[in-house]
Structure 1
């Protein structure tokens, strides 16, 4: 039996939010005695994409060094965290291939289209290294969870991004940006999607 992978939680452009589904997921996983590492949110004041990529690499490389089996982690990212994961996978392909079993990428934003305030504009995103958004296939299994009424990305654009990344695209229905502002705290379906990535191809 393969060991349960470590869950690596990658936040988007937010501060720490107690009622955010990622915060609540971390608590549930820890209560269930699952190994989980949550990257500290950096908020919107520091948009440096490279700093976020470096934070992912530091965590995943450490996990890879500590384990004797391959594919020891599953990434669970939200919003801009999905884009950071794509940048990381391109810059650190060797670590990504060796250490990641899969990634759950929830509601990635469309950084090529202007977003509503108070989100950063395209010029700020470009200056901080987010653009262009990587569109190479990810070197691990991945699921993109798409919303039909996300204010930060149309479902069509998210589906296109999922195809470029080689990801399975799951339709969540009308869930906004899957955050407290859209009425979401708990997102219990995340654990089922993590399980799919944990045991791909198993009944």
Structure 2
């Protein structure tokens, strides 16, 4: 698979230096889907950017989503006519945007889409993510038809988690790659 066919989907406020998504982009050449507004994300705008990124590639793509990017994948998959172009998705640390403290911050993102994803997916979550209880991540994995992989106590699985190039995540992504 061409590295640029692996689409990185950061969450709210983007993935900065030290985040495993940024490390993968810089070291492995994966393509970050850029959004118009990382601070005030609108679900419709982000969906369009993902749709355009998928359509810009001739072959199958893999989606590598973190946080709000996971919710984006579910929202996009529920409405796109191009989901057959996705070979698989690695979904890491989806937030619980329906919590009272988070819903006002990202109002256009609720309710979270809960239809099964039409492509293979693996959802990874930690037991102490400040943005979602592990039970929420497990429920999303069931709803989306994703394989659930517990990450232990790792926080939000972001730069503060100090995952570096996250070899365990790379192995999960390789398992989703088409033969």
TM-score between the two structures when normalised by the length of structure 1: 0.81
Which residue number corresponds to residue 122 of structure 1?
A: 103
Which sections of structure 1, spanning at least 5 residues, go unmatched?
31-35, 116-120
Which residue number corresponds to residue 58 of structure 1?
A: 52
The structure having more radius of gyration, on CA atoms, is: 1
Which residue number corresponds to residue 8 of structure 1?
A: 7
Which residue number corresponds to residue 79 of structure 1?
A: 67
Q: Secondary structure at the match of 1:105?
A: strand
Residue 25 of structure 1, CA deviation: 1.0
Q: Runs (4+) of structure 1 moved beyond 4 Å?
A: 41-44
Contact in 2 for aligned 1:8/1:75 (Cα 8 Å)? yes
Contact in 2 for aligned 1:10/1:75 (Cα 8 Å)? yes
Larger CA deviation: 187-196 vs 145-154: 187-196
Q: Secondary structure at the match of 1:45?
A: coil
1:38 aligns with 2:19: no
Which sections of structure 2, spanning at least 5 residues, go unmatched?
none
Superposed CA offset, 1:132-171 (max 9, x none): 1000000000000011000000111110010000000001
Contact in 2 for aligned 1:147/1:177 (Cα 8 Å)? yes
Which residue number corresponds to residue 153 of structure 1?
A: 132
**Separation in 1, partners of 2:52, 2:21:** 20
TM-score between the two structures when normalised by the length of structure 2: 0.91
Q: Secondary structure at the match of 1:9?
A: strand
Residue 40 of structure 1, CA deviation: 2.1
Which residue number corresponds to residue 18 of structure 2?
A: 19
Contact in 2 for aligned 1:11/1:77 (Cα 8 Å)? yes
Q: How many residues align?
A: 178
